[in-house]
A and B are shown apart, each in its own frame.
Chain A
Amino acid sequence: MYDSGKIIPGLIIFVLFITIPIWYNRGGAGTEPPKPVLPKDAKTCVLPAAEIRAEHMKLLNVWRDEVLRDGQRAAVTVDGKEYPKSLMLNCMKCHTSKKQFCDTCHTYASVRPYCWDCHLAPVE
């Protein structure tokens, strides 16, 4: 092999670089998968659990646009129950803790929603 003094170190650097996730996570199994604390008293949400889990960010975004940009503040009615279109006055009523609910998954998956650029996070 020619120029092995340059090619082999280059190749080793490449393999080490590609396998960074293995070195980074080695040993410990990392942090535990998140277990958000669910509200104890409330049993229903504005959408079924699977849907709200997948679509909550879209829903909040739509509500934000409707309320702040179009002035449509009328509450949403689901199964005869009225819910105001609001993060603080609706979602956070049941899911009271940002740290124990929102942040568990968001931190794990490195998601940074910009809700709290405007809203004041509850003091915990």
Chain B
Amino acid sequence: MKYAFPLAAVIALVLCALILVQIPGMQYLFGVVIPYLAMALFLGGFCYRVIHWGKSPVPFKIPTTCGQGYSLPWIKHDKLEAPVNAAQVVARMFLEIVFFRSLWRNTKATVYAGPKLTYESSKWLWLFGIMFHYSFLVIVIRHMRLFLDPVPGLVAFVEIGDSLLQIGAPAMYMTDVTIVLALLFLFARRLTNPQVRYISLMNDYFPLFLILGIVATGILMRFFLRADVDINAIKQLAVGLVTFSPTIVTEISPLFYAHLFLVCTLLAYFPFSKLMHMGGVFLSPTRNLANDSRMKRHINPWNPEIKPHSYASYEDEFREDMVEQGIPVEKELPSQG
């Protein structure tokens, strides 16, 4: 059920686009209005979420460390696992964001008869995770050929690199293959690994199916159902969208609108989902703080302001009452004339 419902939702989205776009006038809704709304939701929602996180206080210094902290000079300090200054934190964050280093450290625990517990390095998740993310990045860069006119050299370069194998015509993209493989692995992992399956929710499956739907419609459009997929009309629409003068010049295949609608769904859904780890990875206190709690005092931002109150000033404040009650005081009341 946890995966049946998201799958049904994605299929419903595709059918919705395929059928509704047949109605005259609806092309404008799916081609222009919805993309603008989705992009506004994406940018607005993204900024809202990041600022919301920025407003949340971090009461304690909580970097996750998994190596020797900075200590005496003859104890070797693990600079990446327990960073103590900004440069080391930046190095750690860089490796995390660019190379998914914490996934690289992933281990798998297995219990054998005995009982005997073993831990073993498990890099599959890292491999397919990084494969998915970089394939997606290359695909986004490639798509810029439809939004940028004239097409910049970098975009053309990425595209040439991606179709370097020169298999078939239109040339096969390597990232199309790798992203499908990676998505299928990430889905199969949630199904077959009992622990992961137990903690997987609908909002884990939905983005997988949604992105798989985007990839599938894209591959179908490029390689199989090419009828009416007029690339020039699509580019005119895309360039029109980013210059705020969108036009739909000809009848474009419903498959294109299904593809676009799924992308719009992804954009609109992005800020309100787990996909926000794109921004969240930069704002994780367990990653972006230095392990220097013994060197610098971390002030809890929600601490109330407590002014120091010495005994001398306490006595000044209550001296009369203290004398009246017969409590000894260090400094007597001034003598009455």
Contact = CB atoms under 8 A, between A and B. Distances in A.
A87 B243 CA distance: 38
B160 interface: yes
Contacts of A44: none
Interface stretch (B4-12, B64-72, B177-185, B221-229): B221-229
A18 B50 CA distance: 15
Given A18-B43, A30-B150, A110-B151, A57 B231 contact: no
B156 A61 contact: no
Contacts of A18: 42-43
Nearest to B167: A61
A60 B243 CA distance: 36
A93 to B, nearest CB: 21
Nearest to A15: B43
Contacts of A15: 43, 47
A97 B155 CA distance: 27
Given A4-B54, A110-B151, A22 B232 contact: no
A3 B54 contact: yes
B6 to A, nearest CB: 26
A1 B50 CA distance: 11
A1 B150 contact: no
Contacts of B51: 1, 7, 11
B239 A30 contact: yes
A21 B148 contact: yes
Contacts of A60: 169
A31 to B, nearest CB: 6
B168 interface: yes
Given A11-B47, A33-B235, A111-B231, 11 more contacts: A2-B58, A7-B51, A18-B42, A20-B148, A21-B148, A25-B149, A30-B149, A34-B232, A54-B226, A58-B168, A109-B146
Interface of A: 1-4, 7, 10-11, 14-15, 18-22, 24-26, 29-31, 33-34, 50-51, 53-55, 57-58, 60-61, 105, 108-114
Interface of B: 42-43, 46-47, 50-51, 54-58, 144-152, 155-156, 159-160, 166, 168-171, 226-232, 235-236, 239, 242-243, 245, 249, 279, 282-283, 301
